[in-house]
Amino acid sequence: MPPAAEVYIQSTDTDPDVRARAVVEEAHQRLLDQLTALTESDEQDEQDEQDEQSADAFTERLGRLLTATEQTLYAAASGAAETRLLVRALRAAAGTVGGQAATLAAATDGTERAGAARTLAGMLAVHLGMERAVLLPALAALPGVDLSALAGDFTTVLEGGRLEDPAVVDVREIPHGRRHPRIFTRFARLADGESFVLVNNHDPKPLRREFEATHPGRFTWEYVESGPEQWQVRIARVADDG
């Protein structure tokens, strides 16, 4: 039986996964509330400069949320067959949301700003709703994914912090089911041209096939050491020429 501190009732507030989902959902709601205020502006608004500052603050916060989601939730889900297509669709939707946020940031008066904010509010509500209703439960069900740890990393990036980015990811002591989420999460935090070295106790050919399916043309794979007891592979992110 686990220690008393680790005992919890599944699907209640004592469940770590429930608490982790609440962290992400609260961040979503705060962002939507911030956006709602921008939809109430009109051409008669005498606080246009203040609204412009509010729009800038919102777009900055949205950018951090999209980055935090990409580097944590999407990264962990992108390496699993069950969630790979879902992440691909969510990434495309996130790009559309980001484009509409740029339209909001470029608005020059209250009427234009309010219209752009209303459009973005509808898009964002649907997008974040999919993350809450589909992505988070799917992540919680994936073997090897620690949703509590992901939520902690998500909060760190959202608040402007940086995550630990080791140059070497040694997975030899990690149970097999937990290795790929760790590796894909690390890859998601690479800038173009950056790399890390994966250390494993077998040739990670299945992992390479997952990278080819998930990040086609966006990575390089270089063997540094090829057995017989240890394999090292340098994995780098390639710039997207498109």
What's residue 2's pLDDT?
43
pLDDT by residue for the chain (242 residues), tens digit each? 444 444 444 555 567 889 999 999 999 999 999 888 877 754 445 455 555 678 888 999 999 999 999 989 998 888 677 888 999 999 999 999 999 999 998 888 878 888 899 999 999 999 999 999 999 999 988 877 788 888 998 999 999 988 877 899 999 988 877 788 778 878 877 888 999 999 999 999 999 998 888 788 889 999 999 989 999 999 999 986 65
Per CATH, the homologous superfamily of domain 164-237 is TusA-like domain (3.30.110.40)
Tell me how far apart the alpha carbons of residues 223 and 204 are, in angstroms, rounded to a whole number.
10
Torsion sign (Cα): 87, 25, 163, 160: positive
What's residue 5's pLDDT?
45
What's residue 164's pLDDT?
79
What's residue 81's pLDDT?
75
What's residue 7's pLDDT?
46
What's residue 49's pLDDT?
56
Torsion sign (Cα): 187, 190, 194, 196: negative
What's residue 155's pLDDT?
94
**Any residues with CB less than 8 A from the CB of 157 and at least 6 apart, and which?**
64, 67, 68, 71, 72, 163
What's residue 229's pLDDT?
92
Domain boundary assignment for the chain: 4-157, 164-237
How many other C-beta atoms can be found within 10 angstroms of the C-beta atom of residue 67?
A: 16
DSSP state of 89: H
Tokens describing residue 156? 């760190």
